[in-house]
Amino acid sequence: MSNEPSPPTDELIERYFLDPQSLSDAEQSTLVRALQEDPSVRSRFRVAAFIDAELRFESSGEETSSPSITAPTGLGDAWPKWILAIAATLLLFGVLGYLNWPATPQQTQEPIANQQSPPATPEVATAIALLDVGHNQKFEPGFAPSGSEFHQGEYHLSEGEVTLTFQNGVAVSLESPARFSIIDPMRMQLDHGRARAIVPESGHGFVIETSTMVVEDLGTEFGVVVDDQQNQELHVFAGEVRLHEKNLPPELLTENSALAWDNHTKRRTITPDDGAFATSMSIGYKRWLDHSLQLRQDPAALFYFDFETDSRKSAEVVNRATTGIVDNGQLTSGIWATGRWPEKGAMLFENTGDRVELNIPGTYDQITIMGWVQINRYDFALQTVFNSVDYSPGQHHWNLTRGGSLRMGLSGQYDLTSKQTLPQNHWTHVAAQMDAKSQESVYYINGEEVDRKQWTTSIPIRYGPSSIGAWGHTNRAGQVTYSRDLRGRIDEIALFSRILSADEIREAFEAGSNFQ
């Protein structure tokens, strides 16, 4: 008896469809047993059989096709006996399932005269994929998803970009114009456009097919292009794919490789172009940028800092709000850094005294503040996100505790510590509404309300001299000193002189959340 390890199941399936006689008796038994015990193996075997039948039919030259799938040609008039055992096994599963199906009332009870059957409940089809993120997307009538749900069928994306997430975790990003069909959770067809697939282990074996090729995932990230003239490209960015072409044996392509085909020449090798395909991240950045432009143009915006700069030596933090009420912030110390996306700027607060100073004139009956923060470390009992200098009646403070909770307060009215915490080294959206008219404050983390607090009296809200990243307080000598240093990044923070609704806060979170 041989002590050599058995080949992987995928290899056995591939060898069967290339040459079933190449499998030894032991390998045949291994494959049969795997098909009997593992539903995923049966699924991959069916996909392989379908691909093999399609390729053999295309190469046969026949003008019409039959809906049935026959045994691969070249194997004689009958299937090998051991593969008939597989078919029998699959049939047995179906028979046993039928015999063990729970009996219905009609099968176990005598019919009752004039009994009316309850109306049939319509069967709701489960979506195969969901819209993960989109930017200015528009679908042609009759070829559009049902809301955010994509079922089996054909779709025409006429404008914008989308990323779909399949049941198995596969993410496919498409750019308009695109015509594509969703066949099942493991297969889609691209007739025109650009598609990029990012396939996790749970989606191993996912397929994108075109009119002339089938691209089978082997744990990959890859892109497929089909243009107006049916010129095609395949780019492999990570992992491996198995390429099936007409009249050719399957071929393995590895990462950092790319091929192109057209109607007039044979295929050629090209340079893979990672930047030529949309991803969930790139689509998310465009969506956030559109939303950012809306926020900075809000008539109630007092300041809007996006921490973008033309020079990383700049000591000025530009206030993008168009109202002109608050001047640009002054960077005392801090590090210009990268934010949620590679294209996005941020301010890194790392050292003692790192802060942005600003002055906010006036008093307000309503305030909303929100932003994106990433905490690297919790070094102190309290760390400052955004505070007024000192803490006089009506002034608002926004800190974090050493445990990661929001620690908020309005001087003379309340202090509040959230039960929910901010994780380290992860971007988190935080927001607050303060209403002197209703005497209530509400706080949010990642678009969801986490706490609210009633005030005892109505008092106008004010800031005056303030800072982002550290708290300034006046000592006995009349000097302002700073403490409660933040240890992390902020890449967006804004203050409005109105109450943004819960829906607006949730929209801001969702618009900025596709950064990974």
Same domain assignment for residues 357 and 438: yes
Same domain assignment for residues 412 and 478: yes
Same domain assignment for residues 304 and 438: yes
The domain boundary, picked from 225, 243, 278, lies at 278
- Whether pTM > 0.85 for this model: the answer is no
In a domain, 108, yes or no: no
Note whether 241 and 223 are within 8 A (CB): no
H-helix or E-strand containing 309? none
H-helix or E-strand containing 239? none
Same domain assignment for residues 439 and 484: yes
CA 396, 402, 403, 409: dihedral to nearest 10 degrees?
-10
| Cis, bond preceding 250 (omega within 30 deg of 0) | no
pLDDT at 103 over 50: no
Same domain assignment for residues 305 and 265: no
Which pLDDT tens digit goes with each residue over 114-148?
445 555 555 557 899 999 999 999 999 999 999 99
Same domain assignment for residues 398 and 263: no
> 39-60 and 25-37 helices cross at what angle (nearest 10)?
120
pLDDT band at 50 (very low <50, low <70, confident <90, very high): low
The domain that holds 453 is classified in CATH as 2.60.120.200
In a domain, 247, yes or no: yes
Q: Identity (one letter) of the amino acid at 272?
A: P
Same domain assignment for residues 270 and 297: no
pLDDT band at 98 (very low <50, low <70, confident <90, very high): very low
Question: Which carries the bigger pLDDT value, residue 384 or residue 104?
Answer: 384
Question: Which carries the bigger pLDDT value, residue 290 or residue 75?
Answer: 290
Total structural domains within the chain = 3
Which pLDDT tens digit goes with each residue over 420-438?
999 999 999 999 999 999 9
Same domain assignment for residues 388 and 425: yes
Tokens of 28: 């045949």
The domain that holds 253 is classified in CATH as 2.60.120.1440
pLDDT at 360 over 70: yes
The domain boundary, picked from 278, 299, 316, lies at 278
Q: What is the pLDDT of residue 118?
A: 55
Same domain assignment for residues 255 and 302: no
Same domain assignment for residues 505 and 374: yes
The domain boundary, picked from 245, 278, 311, lies at 278
Note whether 306 and 295 are within 8 A (CB): no
CA dist 504 and 63 (Å) reads 58
In a domain, 109, yes or no: no
In a domain, 420, yes or no: yes
The domain in which residue 75 lies consists of 9-89
Same domain assignment for residues 161 and 290: no
Could you tell me the sign of the dihedral formed by the alpha carbons of 499, 505, 511, 512, in that order? positive
Same domain assignment for residues 38 and 154: no
